[in-house]
Amino acid sequence: MAGSSPKSPYLRGILDGAPFVLVVVPFAALFGVAASEAGLPLAQVMGFSVLVIAGAAQFAALQLMQEGAPTLVILATALAVNLRMAMYSASLAPHLGGLRGWQKALVAYLLVDQSYMLSIARYEEAPEAPLGEKLAYYFGVITPVAPAWYGASLAGALLGAAIPPAFALDFAVPITFLAMVAPMLRSLAHVAAALASVLGALALAWMPHGSGLLVAALAAMAVGAEVERQVARRRARRHGSRGVRP
């Protein structure tokens, strides 16, 4: 029924973002447990989740911290993992570029996969919607997601501190990354990038402080981009040849 859809953009955002809580809660809880197991005190765990609010980057940084990597390497790796946020920002700019400075800062802080995916889909459906409505929807989407991330991180950290050393969960981080990566292998470019990263990480394992992982990640991005370019070129040639008539 058409009348069942809420008229308030903010409420519509809350309803659209609510299902993602089912994904955010276990992921954040696992980070809290893993960070606690790694020896981080509660304040640092929560500072991590509140300030960074980026699951993949947090797990990558945590893994390198456990390996004793230099701070510069940790920061560079976390930034590399989050490079997609720059593309997200560029995509949202035509819709939210008219916001005030503090509003842009808040949107940037709350920019996560869920808030981007739902918001950009909404904006493309109604590109002429007022700026205020677009902003309200964006904040609506993140309203259930961000508190769930903070709360589950706290619960995981408290749970992790209570786990006896004999039941350490050192395997949690690599298993989590496997669970994150596997569903993302949807195209030849994704598979090629994943394979390049694995081979690169193994070949550069001799590099100090896990810096080989950063080099492998950059190489994987280049491989993925090149494969995507080649696939697009072949697709264009195929369509072009179909359009030619003798």
pLDDT, tens only, 105-117: 999 999 998 898 8
Over range 48-63, report the average pLDDT: 87
- State residue 201's pLDDT score: 83
Q: Calculate the CA dihedral of residues 215, 49, 26, 221 and round it to 10 degrees.
A: -20
Distance of CA 209 to the CA centre of its chain: 24
Which of 45-49, 80-84, 118-122, 200-204 has the weakest average pLDDT? 80-84
Which of 47-51, 136-140, 183-187, 233-237 has the weakest average pLDDT? 183-187
- Whether the per-residue pLDDT at 149 is higher than 90: the answer is yes
Dist. CA 58–CA 176, nearest whole Å? 12
Dist. CA 217–CA 212, nearest whole Å? 8
- State residue 174's pLDDT score: 62
Over range 136-161, report the average pLDDT: 92
Dist. CA 189–CA 223, nearest whole Å? 8
- At 92, give phi and psi (nearest 5°): -85, -20
- State residue 225's pLDDT score: 84
Q: Calculate the CA dihedral of residues 60, 66, 71, 73 and round it to 10 degrees.
A: -50
Residue 246 binned pLDDT confidence (cut-offs 50, 70, 90): low
What does the buried/exposed string (b/e) look like for 24-36 if buried means 16 or more CB atoms within 10 Å of the residue's CB? Answer: bbebbbbbbbbbb
Dist. CA 120–CA 113, nearest whole Å? 11
User: Tens digit of pLDDT for each residue in 159-188?
Assistant: 877 766 655 555 555 665 566 566 667 778
Which of 22-26, 87-91, 186-190 has the weakest average pLDDT? 186-190
- State residue 163's pLDDT score: 64
Dist. CA 112–CA 89, nearest whole Å? 10
Q: Are 224 and 189 in contact (CB under 8 A)?
A: yes
Residue 59 binned pLDDT confidence (cut-offs 50, 70, 90): confident
User: Tens digit of pLDDT for each residue in 185-214?
Assistant: 777 888 888 898 889 888 988 887 667 777
Residue with the two structure tokens 């909404």: 122
Over range 120-144, report the average pLDDT: 93
Q: Are 153 and 28 in contact (CB under 8 A)?
A: yes
Residue 1 binned pLDDT confidence (cut-offs 50, 70, 90): very low
Dist. CA 58–CA 60, nearest whole Å? 5
- State residue 178's pLDDT score: 65
Alpha-carbon radius of gyration of the chain: 21
Dist. CA 213–CA 219, nearest whole Å? 10
Dist. CA 204–CA 207, nearest whole Å? 6
